[in-house]
Homo-oligomer: A and B are copies of this chain.
Amino acid sequence: MEPVPPSVDDEATKLQRQFGDRLRHFRTAAALSQEEIAHRAGLDRSFVGQVERGERNLSLLNILKIADALGIEAGRLFDRDK
């Protein structure tokens, strides 16, 4: 039987989820709420939540804002091992 190849769309959301997972990892490690991060980054609370859940393909500038809010290097949000 053919193992169904994952669609590009699934691949895309998978990558977004990976990013969201790392964000959540660093946020909870810093003991901060989504609201707090959103406020520090100047973003909407629900937007941050959506990013964490991998529902958003956010842009470079917002990645940098969020990294700032977390107090970490942006590159760390791309580390394979948290």
A residues contacting B by CB (< 8 A) are 12, 15-16, 19, 57-61, 63-64, 73-80
Contacts and interface: CB of A to CB of B under 8 A. Distances in A.
Contact of A60 (B57, B73, B75, B76): B57
Contacts of A79: 75
Number of copies of this kind of chain in the complex: 2
Contact of A64 (B15, B59, B61, B73): B15
A59 B61 contact: no
A59 B77 CA distance: 14
A60 B58 contact: yes
Given A58-B59, A59-B59, 11 more contacts: A15-B60, A15-B61, A15-B64, A19-B60, A57-B60, A58-B60, A59-B60, A60-B60, A73-B78, A73-B80, A74-B78
